[in-house]
Chain A
Amino acid sequence: MGKKVLMKGNEAIGEAAITAGCRHFFGYPITPQSELPAYLAKRMPQEGGVFLQGESEVASVNMVYGASSAGVRVMTSSSSPGVSLKQEGISYMVGAELPALVCNVQRAGPGLGTIQPAQSDYFQATKGGGHGDYNIIVLSPSSVQEIVDMVRMAFDLADTYRNPCMLLTDGMLGQLMEPVDFGDYKPMVFEKPWALTGCKGRPKNTVTSIYIQPERMEEHNLKLQKKFAAIREKEQRWEELSLSDDTEILVVAHGTMARIVKSAMKEAQEQGVKVGVIRPITVWPFPEKAFRNLRNIQTVLVVEMSAGQMLEDVKLSINGRLPVHFFGRMGGMVPTVEQILSQIMSLRKSPAKL
């Protein structure tokens, strides 16, 4: 307890899940998240848990659906092409109000893409991803310690709202080794009277996502929307850095990208630029509250490992009040501190262009 251990991001996901009381993992191999199933294949049997390699991501996510319907804490993980296949199960879990943790250790796409890191599944993660009107809670960690904290938070949020929760990270953080502290966290305990356990001593339980009468289906949708509205209200999380009344340039980045942006921010500040950062921690719900009072900020720069996806949420939150610029790289290429710094400097130098 309180002792720091050195761990890879992917392995930290696994150990954090175990400390959160998760004893069931179903997944299918894919780079760059492979250390996670390898880790849990070893750890789950030691904890009396279940590690099962499914025949595909489609099968694995449906195993998760089954285990969750039986009331246990359960997770799966994959990387971008595999997460596309999991969308079926995620949509069904939202429809049937089943909690689970889904990890996406993103790589670059589209298609088979490459195994290098990217943030280009942001739309898929935050705008539904599968069919139907829905959202899942999406957490974007920026360090290995945050992976641990967020995996635990994700399980608690999933159970609180009976909705799947996603840990959205990427190959860079997944492979990164950092010291982590597991602390003495205790998972929240949930009664699950709806779970399928055999109907001994109670009326039968049914878990389903089909309501064949449109009136009933709309009612179910309205119930889900109410839940999403409550999540939007209560669960927005973000970090602010160097935001003061005289900050002029705001940079927005999440996850791995935010680490690099922080270094660029410091260098810019050393050169006298008044720059601050907002780092969304929940990317759904997007922390639009963070953008309500922007004080003296003159211009905004969004940096992503994508063609500009979170950019849209930033623009929606700012709602035309300020110019919003974008810098991103794709295909597994990661924006460097120098590149971000030069973007910041160019914004300062030519305010007329804003």
Chain B
Amino acid sequence: MEKVFEKPVSIDEKHFSYCAGCTHGIIHRLIAESIDELGIRERTVGVSPVGCAVFAYEFFNFDCVGAAHGRAPAVATGIKRSRPDCIVFTYQGDGDLAAIGTAEIVHAATRGEKITVIFVNNAIYGMTGGQMAPTTLIGQYSETTPYGRKAELHGFPIKVSEMLSTLEGAQFIQRVTVMNPASVIKAKQAIKKAFKNQVDGKGFNLVEILSTCPSCWGMAPLKALDWLKENMIPVFPLGVYKDRDAGEAAGAKAEE
């Protein structure tokens, strides 16, 4: 009988340590499939963040390094500049990338670093137990916004794809989600493209993935997917924000 579904080679034997229903796992799989399909596993170096994905290097079956909180783009820069033949990617949460690591991501994009960034936006700090993230929505409850996020107190959610797409150094920026099978297929295409671009010597490539955190949102996994669709997508519209290959016309073209 023909095998129609198997574990990507780029995924290791270890069981994921994510909470039940967390979409981090789906995103890992999409990365692994893309790397397998592009045949680049043996020259890939992953940079895992500080956040729930801190142990991503345990789950991937290729060379990986753990970075300090927010510094993954700088670490990736150091690797890519010393081993230009390696395919280097970072995997970062919203606290990691859009709070403590804002300078590092902005400047990696500015320099047009030939790396790939997988940015998991779940609107919360998962690992530390559900504090406000830079992407937490107005009105959203968290441990540190117990009365809901208020613009006058906490500012507004930061829109990373929109912001980075204004930078000349950025090659490809797309926002996707993994809330249903159709969106997972789209997310996979975006991730694969973000790697393929690097294989072709093009950077900087970033895919923002709207993701759920059922545990810290205090919701059952299915409810969390609905919440994402109803609340996150209106604030963080899906779409291609920058694709230098498609010309500037494609810039800032949201889908929905």
Contacts and interface: CB of A to CB of B under 8 A. Distances in A.
A70 B103 contact: no
A179 interface: no
A210 B74 contact: no
Interface stretch (B42-50, B144-152, B166-174, B203-211): B42-50
Contacts of A196: 45, 63-65, 79, 83, 86
B81 interface: yes
Interface string B48-73: 10000011011011111111100100
A54 interface: yes
Given A198-B42, A206-B57, A63 B74 contact: yes
Interface residues of A, number: 40
Nearest to B64: A206
A349 interface: no
Nearest to B72: A62
Contact of A210 (B66, B81, B86): B66
Contacts of A92: 68
A91 to B, nearest CB: 9
Contact of A197 (B47, B48, B83): B83
A62 B75 contact: yes
Interface in A42-101: 50, 52, 54-56, 58-60, 62-72, 74, 88-89, 92, 96
Contacts of A26: 78
B82 interface: yes
Contact of A198 (B54, B61, B82, B86): B86
Contacts of B76: 66
A342 interface: no
Contact of B54 (A59, A65, A201, A210): A210
Q: Which of A54, A64, A92, A198 has the most CB of B within 10 A?
A: A198
A72 B79 CA distance: 9
Contact of A66 (B47, B57, B58, B63): B47
A161 to B, nearest CB: 20
Nearest to A24: B82
Given A197-B86, A198-B86, A206-B57, A63 B44 contact: no
A207 interface: yes
A205 interface: yes
Nearest to B83: A70
A62 B71 contact: yes
Contacts of B54: 210
B186 interface: no
A124 interface: no
B77 interface: yes
Given A88-B68, A206-B57, A62 B63 contact: no
Contact of A50 (B66, B74, B82): B82
Contacts of B188: none
A199 interface: yes
Interface of A: 24, 26, 50, 52, 54-56, 58-60, 62-72, 74, 88-89, 92, 96, 196-201, 204-210, 212
9 contacts: A59-B77, A60-B74, A66-B74, A67-B79, A69-B65, A70-B45, A70-B83, A198-B45, A198-B86
Interface of B: 12, 41-45, 47-48, 54-55, 57-58, 60-68, 71, 74-79, 81-83, 85-86, 103-104, 106-107
